[in-house]
Amino acid sequence: MSRVKYIERTGKLVVKGFEDVDISYLTIHKSKGTEADNVIILNLRNDILGFPNKMTDDPILSHLLNDSEGYRYAEERRLFYVALTRTKNEVVLLIPPEASSFAEELINENGYIITSNNGSLNTVNCTYCKTGKLVLRKNQLNGNQFLGCSHYPACNRTYNNIDILFDNIVCPHCNSGFMTKRRGKFGNFLGCTNYPDCRKTIDLK
């Protein structure tokens, strides 16, 4: 039996184990003018039927858009803004590995905090400024992912090893770096991300 049941007559979702939670399933068009405690946005997939929808725009609509609205997926962008602003508290974006262009823009410009498949939030404090959170970002030159502080540009601390989000062992020596797995001539070990300024290591044998 499925854990989620959709009641078409009411537009409600009933989740097994959370029957008392009021969950409505709405298209973005139907959500206009409404407000919810929290919002979950689905389908941010890079696909012809994803969000943005990559099907050819209505040719009539293209004549109605002025030059300032002529950028790609203009109408879909307006809908995305509506979706992001329907909440009183938080909006959660479910982003698959094949992320849509809208999701990629948010990632590249703002970063995001990863949630694991079991729903637990992997929040790691920035050890440099002490108040920011490490968020996943993408290098626009080479496409590589890295971790940066949520307080950027006030704090420009970065880490190339994104595994820190899941195994965040703070260096016991300098207290500002993280211990990450490395391989040496004598086998695997943990080394501080502040190397060579901090040479703390932990043998994994």
Amino acid at 56: T
Domain that holds residue 157: 111-166
Q: Residue 106: inside a domain, yes or no?
A: no
- Range 51-58 contact pairs with CB under 8 angstroms and sequence separation of 24 or more: 51/76, 51/80, 51/100, 51/102, 52/76, 52/77, 52/80, 52/100, 52/101, 52/102
pLDDT tens for 129-178 read: 888 888 888 887 887 888 888 888 888 899 988 888 878 889 999 998 99
Q: Which of 57, 73, 99 is the last residue of a domain?
A: 99
- CA–CA separation, 5 vs 192, rounded Å? 48
User: Do 19 and 95 fall within a single domain?
Assistant: yes
Mean pLDDT in residue range 9-28: 86
Number of domains, the chain: 3
User: Do 160 and 176 fall within a single domain?
Assistant: no
Whole-number mean pLDDT of the chain?
80
Residue 6: CA atoms inside 13 Å, Cβ hemisphere, count?
Answer: 4
Q: Residue 105: inside a domain, yes or no?
A: no
- Which comes out higher in pLDDT, residue 50 or 109? 50
Q: Residue 104: inside a domain, yes or no?
A: no
pLDDT at 162: 84
User: Do 82 and 28 fall within a single domain?
Assistant: yes
Q: Which residues of 24-56 are buried (b: 16+ CB within 10 A; e: fewer)?
A: eeeebeebeeeebeebebeebbbeeebbbbeee
User: Do 162 and 180 fall within a single domain?
Assistant: no
pLDDT at 105 over 50: yes
User: Do 26 and 95 fall within a single domain?
Assistant: yes
pLDDT at 106 over 50: yes
pLDDT above 70 as % of the chain: 82
User: Do 37 and 1 fall within a single domain?
Assistant: yes
User: Do 2 and 63 fall within a single domain?
Assistant: yes
Res. 197 pLDDT band, cuts 50 70 90: very high
Full-prediction pTM beyond 0.75? Answer: no
pLDDT at 138: 80
- Which comes out higher in pLDDT, residue 163 or 115? 163
Q: Residue 12: inside a domain, yes or no?
A: yes
